[in-house]
Structure 1
Amino acid sequence: MASNGSKSKAPGAPVMLEATSKDLRAATGSQDPDLTLAQLNQVMATLWLPNNASEETKRATARAALAALKGLAPRDELEGMLASQMVATHHAAMECLRRAMIPDQTFQGREQNLKHAAKLLGVYARQVEALDKHRGHGQQKITVEHVNVHAGGQAIVGNVETGAAASLGGTSLPQPQPQPLAIASEPAPLVTGFDMVSAPRKEPKRR
Structure 2
Amino acid sequence: MTTALTRNGTTPVTKHDRGKPSPRIKLTPEHIVIQHPDAEAGERLLGEALGAVDRDALHGILKQLMKASVILQKPDEANLAFMVSMMKSIAPRDSLEAMLTAQMVSVHVATMRSACRLAFTEDLAQQEGVARTMTRLARTFAAQIEALNRHRGKGERPITVQNLSVQDGGRAIVGNVAQHAHLTVGEPGSATDAGLVPSRDAGDPEPNLAEVLRGATA
- TM-score for both structures, normalised by structure 2: 0.54
1:65 maps to 83
Hey, what does 2:57 align to over in structure 1? 35
Between Structure 1 and Structure 2, which shows a larger proportion of strand residues? 1
Aligned residues: 144
**Deviation digits for residues 15-73 of structure 1 (CA, Å, limit 9, x no counterpart):** 7543521343134312210111111110120123136x8x9xx3222211111111111
Percent identity between matched residues is 29
Larger radius of gyration: 2
Query: For residues 66 and 91 of structure 1, what CA distance do their matches in structure 2 show?
Result: 12
- Structure 2 counterparts to residues 107-146 of structure 1, below 5 A: 107-141=124-158
- Name stretches of at least 5 consecutive residues in structure 1 with no aligned partner: 1-11, 156-163, 171-207
Query: Where in structure 2 are there 5+ consecutive unaligned residues?
Result: 1-27, 36-41, 180-218
Contact kept in structure 1, 2:34 and 2:43, CA below 8 Å: no
Any conservation in 2 of the 1:89–1:120 contact (CA below 8 Å)?
Answer: yes
Match of 1:161 in 2: none
Matched AA of 2:64 = Q
- Root-mean-square deviation (CA, aligned residues, Å) is 3.4
Aligned to 1:44: 66
Determine which of 5, 24, 34 is the counterpart of 1:18.
Answer: 34
Report which structure shows greater RCO (CA 8 Å, sep ≥6).
1
CA distance in 2, matches of 1:22, 1:97: 36
Q: Name the CA distance, whole Å, in 2 between partners of 1:146 and 1:93.
A: 47
Q: Where does 1:1-207 land on structure 2 (aligned, <5 Å)?
A: 13=29, 16-19=32-35, 20-50=42-72, 58-103=76-121, 105-141=122-158, 165=175
- Cα contact 1:26–1:70 (8 A) shared by 2: no
Aligned with 1:136: secondary structure? Answer: coil
